[in-house]
A = this chain, B = another copy of it.
Amino acid sequence: MTLKELAARANVHPSTISRVANNDPGLRIATATRSRIEALLRDTGYQPNGIARGLKMRQTNVLAVVIPDVTNPFFAALFRGVEDAAAPRGFNVLLCNTDGLPERQRSHLQSLQARRVDGVIIASSFLKDPSVRELRRQKGPYVLVNRFSDEGEDPFVGSDDLLGGQLATAHLIGLGHTRIAHLAGKSTVSTGMLRRRGYLAAHSAAGLAADPDLIVEAGYTEESGASGIRRLLSLADPPTAVFAVTDMVAIGAAEVARQRGFRIPEDLALVGYNDIPLASRVNPGLTTMHVPIHEFGSVAARLLLDQIESDEPTRRRVRFTPDLIVRESTVAGATRTQRSARPSVSAE
């Protein structure tokens, strides 16, 4: 059903229908005509063609979220945050999985540009990232989430990863551990780099020397946590504690450690990062740095939508302060503490 067909039925010009349907302010129209058209609109259940409208208006009302893998609970929650903020404002959201492959990221972004999406939220960026450079070059609004890129000043939503790494490690040090390993993320990714630096900073602050052998660059998957911990446990002088760059990595490590007969936390204490729902459900419960994942998404979406509606780019960077949640993976019989619900946001 098009405007033209409706116009034929109502014996008016298509533009008249359009104005009535859009409730054009300052529209002068005879009451009779108006009600005739409105009745027709109801009867036919007319839905304007979004494509045609998009072409004319230069706005598609579509956002895109680019992540490594929605199968990872962290990114699933992030996406929900985006959609929950976008849907009420009339936007639909495309989801693109990259599996961490730059090439897939590039091709997705290219496809998104061709589709003229109104904005892009990208949670799979690298510190040096050609795709992000491309985003900067184009005029379209975008927001980086969780990971940032250090080649420019991009709108960003994430956690204070340096502090998070520090707090997590300090917790282990506070428990008396001295040989603390780090299942690190890639140093090409901001979270990987910063959490590692936090890990090192905590050592310095405590006057402890960090053993380079205890840092293994794993990745962000469960499997990488598993293979990482294997290397650590076969060391001559294995660690008594591990700080993993994410909860998924920690969970992968815990599984292997348990298979090898290590008791957690007695033989091996374990801290993760992100506090995904799974973290409180595994056995033993995983001590981790809580970050508001859903809010990452919703705040990023708001940043994006504000840019779209105001038609001017932003440089806002929102950084949430992570919160240590102590569970049984570091302290046997830890009370399942509710975390302090302080807002703890720092925006620039």
Contacts and interface: CB of A to CB of B under 8 A. Distances in A.
B77 A71 contact: yes
A54 to B, nearest CB: 5
Nearest to A92: B94
Contact of A110 (B47, B71, B108): B47
A152 interface: no
A251 B47 CA distance: 43
- This chain's copy number in the assembly: 2
A129 interface: no
Q: Which of A60, A71, A255 has the most CB of B within 10 A?
A: A71
Contacts of A83: 95-97
Given A52-B55, A94-B92, A94-B93, A69 B60 contact: no
Contacts of A110: 47
B80 A70 contact: yes
Interface stretch (A112-120, A178-186, A190-198, A313-321): A112-120
19 contacts: A47-B113, A48-B114, A49-B116, A50-B115, A51-B54, A51-B55, A51-B115, A55-B55, A61-B115, A70-B79, A71-B76, A71-B80, A83-B97, A87-B108, A92-B94, A92-B112, A94-B94, A278-B281, A282-B283
